Structure 1
Amino acid sequence: MQKYDLTEEQYKEAISTYSESLALEPYQAELVKLQQHIENHSLKLIILFEGRDAAGKGSVIGSVSRYMNPKHYRIVALGRPSEQERTQWYFQRYIKHFPHGGEIVLFDRSWYNRAMVEPVFGFCSQEEHELFMKHVVPFEESLVQQGTVVVKLYFSVIKEKQAERFEQRRTDPLRQWKLSEIDLQAQSMWGQFTKTKYRMLKDTCHNEAPWYVIRSSDKHKARLETMKLILNQIDYDGKNHSLDLSPDTKTVFTAKQEIEIMDNDGLL
Structure 2
Amino acid sequence: MAERVWFITGVSSGFGRKLAEEVAKLGDKVIGTVRQVRQLEEFNAISPGNTFAYLMDVTNAEGVKATTEAACKLMGRIDVLVNNAGFGYVGAVEEAPVAAYRDNMETNFFGALQVTQRLLPYMREQGGGHIIQMSSIAGFRSSPGFSVYNASKFALEGMSEALAMEVAPFNIKVTIVEPGPFRTNFGGSSIKHATVEMEAYAGTAGAFKRRMSAQNGEQEGDPLKAARVIIDVVNADNPPLRLPLGQYAIDAVRAKLEQVAQDLRAWEAKAGPTSFTD
On whether the aligned pair clears a TM of 0.5, the verdict is: no
Report which structure shows greater RCO (CA 8 Å, sep ≥6). 1
Structure 2 length-normalised TM: 0.41
Structure 1 length-normalised TM: 0.42
